[in-house]
Structure 1
Amino acid sequence: MVFFLCPFLNFAQDLEPRVYANVPTKLNVAALTYGYLEGNILTDPSLPIKDFEISSHNVAASYVRTFGLANKLARVQVTLPFTFMDGSQTKTSGEVLTGSRTGFGDTRVRFGINLLGSPAIDKKDFNKFEQNTILGVSLVTSIPTGRYYDEKLINIGTNRWAFKPEVGLSKRFNHIYAEIYTGVWFYTNNNHYLVNKKLEQKPAYSLQSHASYYFKNSMWIGFNANWFVGGKTITEGVSDDSQIDNWRVGGTFSLPIAKAQSLKFQYHIGAFTNNGLNYNAGTVTYQNSFF
Structure 2
Amino acid sequence: MKNNNYKALSVSALLCGSLLSGQAFAIAETVHPRDYIPAPKGVNLSVTYLQSVSGDDFNVDGDTVSNDADLQVNAVIQRFIHYTELFGMPADPQIIIPVVDQDVGIQGEQSSGIGDIFIGSTLWPIANNDNKEWLGLSSFVYLPTGEYESDKAVNVGANRWTLVFQGGYTKGLSDGLYMELIGEVEIYGDNNDLAAGDSLGRDNMYRMSAIVSQDVTQGGYVWGRYSKQKGGEVDIDGVDQANSDVDTDTLTLGYSQWIGKRFQLQGEYSQDLSVKNGIETDGITLRVAIPF
Question: Which TM-score bucket, shorter chain as reference?
Answer: 0.7 to 0.9
Contact kept? 1:81, 1:105, Cα under 8 Å: yes
Q: Deviations over 1:104-162 (max 9, x none)?
A: 111122311111134xxxxxxxxxx4242222211021111110001111111000011
Dislocated runs of 4+, deviation >3 Å: 8-15, 40-45, 49-52
Q: Deviations over 1:149-197 (max 9, x none)?
A: 0111111100001111122111011301110011211000000123511
Aligned partners of 1:264, 1:171: CA distance in 2, in Å?
A: 21
Give the structure 2 partner of residue 92 of structure 1: none
Counterpart AA for 1:86: D
Q: How does 1:47-86 map to 2 (within 5 A)?
A: 52-86=69-103
Higher strand share: 1
DSSP-derived class of the 1:150 partner:
coil
- 1:271 has 2:273 as partner: yes
Between 150-159 and 250-259, the greater mean CA deviation after superposition: 250-259
Aligned partners of 1:266, 1:143: CA distance in 2, in Å?
A: 28
Flag the 1:216–1:63 CA change in 2: closer, same or farther, 3 A. same
- Percent sequence identity is 21
Give the structure 1 partner of residue 49 of structure 2: 33
Give the TM-score taking structure 1 as reference length.
0.84
Flag the 1:84–1:34 CA change in 2: closer, same or farther, 3 A. same
Between 98-107 and 153-162, the greater mean CA deviation after superposition: 98-107
- 1:116 has 2:126 as partner: yes
Once the two structures are TM-superposed, the CA of residue 19 in structure 1 deviates from its matched residue by 2.8
- 1:16 has 2:16 as partner: no
Flag the 1:73–1:147 CA change in 2: closer, same or farther, 3 A. same
Contact kept? 1:56, 1:86, Cα under 8 Å: yes
Once the two structures are TM-superposed, the CA of residue 22 in structure 1 deviates from its matched residue by 3.5
Q: Deviations over 1:52-76 (max 9, x none)?
A: 3211221111111110123211112
Flag the 1:250–1:136 CA change in 2: closer, same or farther, 3 A. same
Aligned partners of 2:117, 2:270: CA distance in 1, in Å?
A: 22
Gaps of 5+ in 2: 1-18
Aligned partners of 1:59, 1:104: CA distance in 2, in Å?
A: 10
Once the two structures are TM-superposed, the CA of residue 11 in structure 1 deviates from its matched residue by 7.2
Counterpart AA for 1:166: Q
Flag the 1:140–1:19 CA change in 2: closer, same or farther, 3 A. farther
Q: How does 1:239-250 map to 2 (within 5 A)?
A: 239-241=240-242, 242-250=244-252
Task: Supply the RMSD in Å over aligned alpha carbons.
Answer: 2.4
Higher helix share: 2
Contact kept? 1:108, 1:142, Cα under 8 Å: yes
Give the structure 2 partner of residue 124 of structure 1: none
Aligned partners of 1:211, 1:183: CA distance in 2, in Å?
A: 18
